[in-house]
Structure 1
Amino acid sequence: MKRRDFVKLLGSSVAFGALGASFPSLLKREEVISNIDKYQHIVVLMLENRSFDNMLGYLYQPGELPPGEYFNGVAGKNLKNPVNIPDTTYNIDSVGVYPGTVMTDPDPDPGEEYPHINTQLFNTIIPDTNKFLHVKDMLPPYNEPFPLPFPATMNGFVNDYIYYYKLFQGRYPTVDEFKIVMACFPPTAVPVISALAKGFAVCDNWVCSVPSQTFCNRSFFNAASSWGYVNNSPSARWALNLAPTMYNRLQDANIPWRVYFDVLDILPATLLLHFFKLRDYIDKFHYMSKFYDDVKNGNLPAFCFVEPRMHWFHNDEHPPDEGPRQNTNFPGPSNVLAGEQLIHNIYTAIKESNSPNGSNYQNTLLIITYDEHGGCYDHVPPRMTVPPYDTPPYLHKNENDFTFNRTGLRVPTVLVSSYIAQNTIVNTEFEHTSVYKTLSEKYGLPNLTNRDLLNPHTLNSVFNLNTPRTRDTWPVTKPRPLNAEGDKDFYNTRHLHGLKLDMILLAKHLAGLKGADPVTILDGIEMLMDVKERLGIKFP
């Protein structure tokens, strides 16, 4: 795609918008039917930065659950966080969970880095001088208390959001401005993912791999390791991420795989995060138009990873990281409804697929998950876990002295399959590496690290039907409308921040580009085009 064509596409409104009655329990281990053949194709859609409670906490009301069923949400519970900020005049001492309706909240983005997650989990800032510092300037122990409380108290989300807001906005937020970190969407706000969560299976105990942000959690999903890193920035060092990935294992075993991404992102995040392990497989990376063609024609490979649009007009559901909006009705790039549309498009394409010999709706497992909780409130403490290595294969010390012995928080995860009954609630302790564990069990692949090797749970236990459901039993999803127009100049003149900037600077480093860093989104587009050309990357 030529530059002028790309910018023309970016400026079009199409770029944003186009793209049973019973509650069956999961089968007990001894009752599990041979499930490994109930799927021939796995499609994973990994969205961005939402906690389980934030997206699905209100999915079931207590009265909806029959005897014996359990759903660990927020409805009917007295869940709140304290407000104890010195030198402020707030007239409340706590904020409770409440149903959120503003689809761009939390705005601005909460803290996502490892030290901020420690504050959210334990309500501690250690040393106290970390309070108003950027993460790069924070000191050990990076807000982690000693001895470590277990389980975590989960009562620092509000205080961390207040301090984070003050750091970047230069003032303390009002109560209305900070209470939004406790907001959780009801099913009416997010009807697509809610319909699928009730129409198939919802996992209420699926956690991300690291109590931190995007790069490390996407790396753990792909490689069961983040090469010792926990924060996105400085992103250039991620070029040193040499952990072998699941895609290398699949390639070695001649198991077909592909990564699909949006043409507007120019370069896929998966390739950038694992460049030196995946650069020989550029032919495995395809645009989303190819995904929809492959679904329609029954040509999906055994494993597919789908990236949402993560840079401009993004539909990844990431909260706004460009600073607070002055108009909450602005149909901007951080609106959850854009992600709802993407989920709808992917699900509907799979539902309508009916190839007699290739991939189709009866032999495809769709996994909808999120990379990390992104600072959004969740009430369930993370778990202790296994570090990826006995002796790390890298020479640098683990970032922020983290030993990788704790998981991240719960993230929304929904499983769609013809062999899963309606209203299935999965309480099993899954983690991002459960996906590769499932692949390794199905195909006899070697482990990546200790994390996936010692992960006891695969997805093969979630299939609770002997006979596949017919298409007419699959729910019809109805995304809420989202105005695709908005202020187009916003995307050209707005300054780069957060995930977008980190990803672009990683690409810049990989290509060895010199000169000033990009400032505006238009600068970022130009730089990614330069990187693609400099590295000689041509996608199929």
Structure 2
Amino acid sequence: MAVVDHVIVLALENRSFDHMLGFVEHPNPKFDGLTRGGPHTNPGWDSAAPVTAEPRAKTALPIDPDHSHDAVMEQLALRGTAGAASPTNQGFVMSLERKGRGLSPPTYGGALGPLLNWWHARGGPTRPAAAGLGPLAMLCQPPAHVPVLSRLALEFAVCTRWFCSLPGETWPNRNFLHAATSDGEVDIDLRAYTNRTIFELLEEEGTTDHARTWHIYHDDTPQVWAFRRLWDTPERHANWFPASAFADHVAAGKLPAYSFIEPNHRPPLHTLDHDPIIGAPDVSNNQHPGNNQVDAGGYPAFADASPDSDFSRGEALIAGVYQALRANPALFARSVLLITYDEHGGLYDHVPPPVGVPSPADAGTQGPGWAARLQHSLCHRKAETFDFTLLGPRVPAVIVSPLVAAGTVDARVRDHAAVPATLRALFAPHARPLTRRDEWATPFHSVLTLAEPRTDLPDLSGYVGATPGATGLNVTAPDAPYPAEAPSHYRDFARQAELVWRHLAHVGEPEVSQPPASTQPQRAVQITEAFAAAAHRHRSVAAGDQP
């Protein structure tokens, strides 16, 4: 087995495997995309003709597809009796059409579910907000739109059975990356999470002469802030770095055992069919559909003309991380990079996720009695009855290392708990799993099969863009051009930033002593800068320098 000293994970946002890689012409027949087999279709809305998956997606959408738990359960379209139902992936068009029309997803299941869903939806709009958008869920990116991701998928290893950890939103799926559990959540619940994380496990398993260090690189309000124990001491707070520091650490050979990179989530201050607001540059690069929207009226004429969009900046982020590693061959030869997406974002994928996977909960939990089972068969709220034995839809996962043979296709079933499983296997083989899920999960470093590192690594420097710094905006200026409220898909990040601000103020961090900015988006940027400044001060104190 190859020697691995450094694991790097980059997790972007809300794109399915087929949406990003389904039409890549991979020479390996094991590659399970959309160019073979089929037909790959979904039923149309209201008995309309089936809609076929096609490589005609634009880099912008007129709507952010619904990816709440209830919506994803509709997209998976389970068939079969209770306790033995299997997903069919036949509800993507219906779900997006429902979102466009301003209708609620079907919240209730069971024999009485349709009646209750009708009653629940009575409060919705009586006129369509935007009809006819459902088929957009079936449109996939042509490879020319994802030159970096598709090239790496061809040149290294692509996992064709990597699923997000549950049918639900961003935050619970990201929690599985860190803790192999979502603490029972299927949708975003803004709170502090106390689950033990892989970062803590690595610390505990390290020794004086063989420390298992970790860094988190970010350039905005990161979701991993939700794990307060990872930054509530000066020592741990010092492990957080601006995204721009990653390339410097690689060049200096100072990469830790584990590096987690979270992209910039801050939404653009304009849609792609409008001029930018002067003085407020767009820096987001997470590829979230909500950061890549054009209004419905301008969508038909939108022609992917802008090279400076969130979507293209996401490609540049991937290229930048890869090129930084490629520039230090000695370090790269002992490293493995995983590029994945936290969840599918409501976009089509044709491979149904597995059922019967282990729940993160402890073994031996008693099942429901006969009365509860009868009530469940008549009516149940889907989010409240989910048992975490069904994975979410498939997402892209590309594994990059000079020790990976070009054209590798790995079809072993994995979910995001494979990240802590891999880190345990490499750096803490005698440590107990975090949960039953990462105990089950298959580590991904097994694709590193070459005895000697390759020297034919592709050069993607032409795709590298400018790396954002730690915001660098004058966020306290009274005339800063930010809206008063954050867009809906960013609001939870902004609210979490305010929780972080209050906690740091409570413990007396001087960086948060100034008055908070006037608007919610301004405050989110402000706490990001204050958090980064405090981390720098903690590192300076630990090094014996003046802060």
TM class by smaller structure: 0.7 to 0.9
Letter in 2 for 1:155: Q
Alpha-carbon offset, residue 493 of structure 1: 3.2
Residues 194-244 of structure 1: CA deviation (Å, up to 9, x unaligned): 111101111111111111111001111100111111111xx43x22x2111
Letter in 2 for 1:406: L
Report the CA distance shift for 1:399/1:510 in structure 2 as closer, same or farther (over 3 A). farther
RMSD (Å), alpha carbons: 3.3
- 2:19 paired with 1:84: no
Report the CA distance shift for 1:147/1:337 in structure 2 as closer, same or farther (over 3 A). same
Q: Distance between the aligned counterparts of 1:164 and 1:221, measured in 2?
A: 28
Alpha-carbon offset, residue 400 of structure 1: 2.5
Q: Distance between the aligned counterparts of 1:347 and 1:535, measured in 2?
A: 27
Which one of 439, 446, 449 corresponds to residue 464 of structure 1? 449
Matched residue of 2:90: which SS? coil
Which one of 447, 459, 462 corresponds to residue 476 of structure 1? 459
Residue 506 of structure 1 aligns with which residue? 496
Q: Distance between the aligned counterparts of 1:436 and 1:191, measured in 2?
A: 29
Residues 415-455 of structure 1: CA deviation (Å, up to 9, x unaligned): 11111111111111121111211111122232101111122
Residue 239 of structure 2 aligns with which residue? 284
Residue 163 of structure 1 aligns with which residue? 98
Letter in 2 for 1:320: G
Letter in 1 for 2:337: L
Q: How many residues align?
A: 446
Matched residue of 2:7: which SS? strand
Residues 15-70 of structure 1: CA deviation (Å, up to 9, x unaligned): xxxxxxxxxxxxxxxxxxx23x2x21111110000000000111126xx34xxx41
Residue 299 of structure 1 aligns with which residue? 254
Matched residue of 1:336: which SS? helix
Percent identity reads: 29
Which one of 238, 260, 267 corresponds to residue 217 of structure 2? 260
Q: Distance between the aligned counterparts of 1:100 and 1:494, measured in 2?
A: 36
Alpha-carbon offset, residue 250 of structure 1: 1.0
Report the CA distance shift for 1:74/1:303 in structure 2 as closer, same or farther (over 3 A). same
Residue 223 of structure 2 aligns with which residue? 269
Q: Distance between the aligned counterparts of 2:450 and 2:85, measured in 1?
A: 38
Matched residue of 2:522: which SS? helix
Asked if 2 retains the 8 angstrom alpha-carbon contact of 1:108 and 1:322, the reply is no
Alpha-carbon offset, residue 324 of structure 1: 4.6
Which one of 371, 390, 400 corresponds to residue 384 of structure 2? 400
- 2:70 paired with 1:115: yes
Residues 110-144 of structure 1: CA deviation (Å, up to 9, x unaligned): 011100001101179xxxxxxxxxxxxxxxxxxxx
- 2:324 paired with 1:349: yes
Report the CA distance shift for 1:172/1:382 in structure 2 as closer, same or farther (over 3 A). same
Q: Distance between the aligned counterparts of 2:352 and 2:484, measured in 1?
A: 37
Matched residue of 1:431: which SS? coil
Alpha-carbon offset, residue 288 of structure 1: 1.5
Residues 153-182 of structure 1: CA deviation (Å, up to 9, x unaligned): 11100011011111179625454x332211
Report the CA distance shift for 1:167/1:482 in structure 2 as closer, same or farther (over 3 A). farther
- 2:337 paired with 1:388: no
- 2:167 paired with 1:183: no
Alpha-carbon offset, residue 289 of structure 1: 2.0
Alpha-carbon offset, residue 504 of structure 1: 1.4
Matches within 5 A, 1:95-110: 95-105=51-61, 107-110=62-65
Residue 40 of structure 1 aligns with which residue? 5
Alpha-carbon offset, residue 82 of structure 1: 0.6
Alpha-carbon offset, residue 537 of structure 1: 7.1
Residue 71 of structure 1 aligns with which residue? 31
Which one of 155, 164, 170 corresponds to residue 214 of structure 1? 170
Letter in 2 for 1:469: R
Alpha-carbon offset, residue 530 of structure 1: 6.0
Matches within 5 A, 1:144-155: 147=82, 150-155=85-90
Alpha-carbon offset, residue 398 of structure 1: 11
Matched residue of 2:406: which SS? coil
Answer with 521-530 or 332-341: which moved more: 521-530
Q: Distance between the aligned counterparts of 2:451 and 2:10, measured in 1?
A: 26
Q: Distance between the aligned counterparts of 1:467 and 1:149, measured in 2?
A: 47
Alpha-carbon offset, residue 499 of structure 1: 3.3
Alpha-carbon offset, residue 276 of structure 1: 3.6
* Unaligned stretches of 5+ residues in structure 1: 1-33, 87-91, 125-144, 515-520
Residues 233-274 of structure 1: CA deviation (Å, up to 9, x unaligned): xx43x22x2111101111112311100011xx1x4321x221
Asked if 2 retains the 8 angstrom alpha-carbon contact of 1:331 and 1:482, the reply is no
Letter in 1 for 2:13: E
Report the CA distance shift for 1:49/1:529 in structure 2 as closer, same or farther (over 3 A). closer
- 2:202 paired with 1:250: yes
Alpha-carbon offset, residue 378 of structure 1: 0.4
Residue 51 of structure 1 aligns with which residue? 16
Q: Distance between the aligned counterparts of 2:20 and 2:518, measured in 1?
A: 31
Asked if 1 retains the 8 angstrom alpha-carbon contact of 2:230 and 2:237, the reply is no
* Unaligned stretches of 5+ residues in structure 2: 104-124, 207-211, 268-282, 366-380, 468-472, 474-478, 506-516, 537-547
Residue 347 of structure 2 aligns with which residue? 376
Residues 306-355 of structure 1: CA deviation (Å, up to 9, x unaligned): 01111143100100268653353584986421111111111111111145
Which one of 465, 474, 497 corresponds to residue 487 of structure 2? 497
Residue 539 of structure 1 aligns with which residue? 535
Report the CA distance shift for 1:348/1:482 in structure 2 as closer, same or farther (over 3 A). closer
Answer with 316-325 or 247-256: which moved more: 316-325
Report the CA distance shift for 1:537/1:405 in structure 2 as closer, same or farther (over 3 A). farther
Q: Distance between the aligned counterparts of 2:140 and 2:458, measured in 1?
A: 23
Answer with 324-333 or 195-204: which moved more: 324-333
Letter in 2 for 1:245: T
Q: Distance between the aligned counterparts of 2:493 and 2:364, measured in 1?
A: 25
Answer with 248-257 or 314-323: which moved more: 314-323
Asked if 1 retains the 8 angstrom alpha-carbon contact of 2:241 and 2:532, the reply is no
